[in-house]
């Protein structure tokens, strides 16, 4: 397993590696500053490894490589070239190179990877709940919420991530909508900000609440965090639309989940790039499969899939039927990976 610097990616890889039940090692990769985009045309790695910080990469070579993201692709393909036997390469998300270089690609709607013989489209990112950790967290935190009326509605707040923006007005709007929902159900709110939440937005959200609530503000110093307790104890969830990871964890509880919409900020440059991209792909759609042109990440596509499947709804829309039970993306992924070795 090739681990990078993004916790969400590493969590998916580790979940898949564990679920496969094959012996595995985690190789931590660290990269130096990327070279110019023309480096690949000159035969040089665009994402050179920081050898001093990276785990040793030496024989014996594995039978299977699990990876995620663009920067690790060159490492995986180099290992496969060096090995004296077949090495399967399985990639998560959006590799941004020719899809035919991989044995299997496991992707989700927001990455807009085209259909291909080796591509599996999953409904949500891979996730394997640690119920033992959830239960420990629930035991630690339950008493702090005991005086709050039920149902407990957890509000999981992310942060600004292109093109979404979490700012003071959007935080206040979420507080008003969440308060209205809790009041209508006679319940209360369990709120948590995250690493990416601006401090002023977190304060604005708390100041706009009009119902009983427990509010946790994430801090860089760490300390006790009720996030896992919320997953274990909450009766329903409100999740900001910027975070695929939080949406995945909330939807996999099988509880009601609402998606809190966020304002978007797009630059003139991004508009121009999108117009050019659409024009080029209209003339040569195969360029996406070859990795020469990539579609931008579009979390609205993920939201739409969840809403169509009745696994989540936009905040403000009531559930007229129980949410659909969680689908088992992990079982699908494990079956497809194991099939490579038959």
Q: How far apart are CA 71 and CA 48, in angstroms?
A: 9
Q: Which residue has the higher pLDDT, 284 or 121?
A: 121
pLDDT value for 95 = 85
Q: Who contacts 214 (Cβ-Cβ below 8 Å, separation ≥6)?
A: 144, 145, 148, 188, 189, 190, 191, 226
pLDDT value for 97 = 86
Q: Which domains can be identified in the chain, with CATH numbers? A: 2-123+331-339 (no CATH), 131-264+300-326 (3.40.50.2000), 268-295 (no CATH)
pLDDT value for 47 = 82
pLDDT value for 129 = 86
pLDDT tens digit sequence for 280-314: 656 666 666 666 566 777 899 999 999 999 999 99
Structural contact between residues 233 and 141, judged by C-beta atoms closer than 8 angstroms: yes
64, pLDDT greater than 80: yes
In 3D space, the residue among 218, 171, 170, 221 whose CA is nearest the CA of residue 194 turns out to be: 218
Mean pLDDT value of segment 255-259: 97
38, pLDDT greater than 90: no
């Amino acid at each position: 397993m090739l681990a990078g610097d993004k916790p969400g990616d590493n969590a998916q890889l580790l979940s898949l590696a564990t679920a496969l039940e094959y012996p595995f090692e985690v190789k931590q990769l660290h990269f130096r500053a990327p070279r110019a985009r023309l480096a690949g045309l000159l035969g040089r790695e665009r994402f050179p490894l920081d050898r001093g910080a990276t785990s040793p990469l030496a024989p014996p070579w594995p039978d299977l490589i699990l990876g995620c993201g663009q920067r690790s692709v060159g490492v995986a393909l180099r290992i496969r070239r060096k090995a004296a036997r077949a090495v399967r390469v399985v990639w998560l998300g959006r590799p941004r190179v020719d899809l035919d270089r991989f044995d299997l690609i496991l992707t989700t709607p927001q990455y807009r990877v085209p259909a291909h013989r080796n591509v599996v489209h999953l409904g949500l990112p891979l996730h394997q709940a640690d119920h033992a950790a959830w239960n420990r967290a629930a035991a630690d935190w339950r008493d702090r919420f005991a005086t709050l009326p039920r149902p407990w509605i957890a509000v999981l707040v992310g942060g600004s991530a292109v093109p979404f923006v979490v700012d003071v007005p959007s935080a206040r709007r979420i507080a008003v909508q969440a308060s209205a929902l809790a009041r209508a159900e006679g319940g209360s709110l369990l709120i948590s900000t995250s690493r990416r939440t601006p401090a002023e937005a977190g304060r604005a959200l708390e100041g706009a609440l009009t119902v009983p609530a427990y509010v946790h503000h994430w801090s860089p110093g760490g300390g006790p965090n009720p996030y896992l307790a919320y997953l274990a104890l909450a009766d329903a969830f409100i999740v900001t639309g910027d975070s695929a990871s939080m949406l995945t964890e909330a939807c996999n509880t099988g509880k009601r989940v609402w998606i809190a919409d966020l304002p978007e900020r797009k630059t003139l440059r991004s508009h121009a790039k999108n117009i050019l991209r659409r024009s080029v792909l209209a003339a040569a759609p195969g360029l996406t499969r070859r990795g020469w042109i990539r579609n931008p990440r579009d979390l609205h596509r993920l939201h739409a899939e969840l809403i169509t499947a009745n696994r989540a709804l936009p905040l403000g829309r009531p559930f007229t039927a129980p949410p659909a039970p969680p689908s088992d993306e992990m079982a699908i992924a494990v079956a497809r990976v194991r099939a490579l070795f038959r």
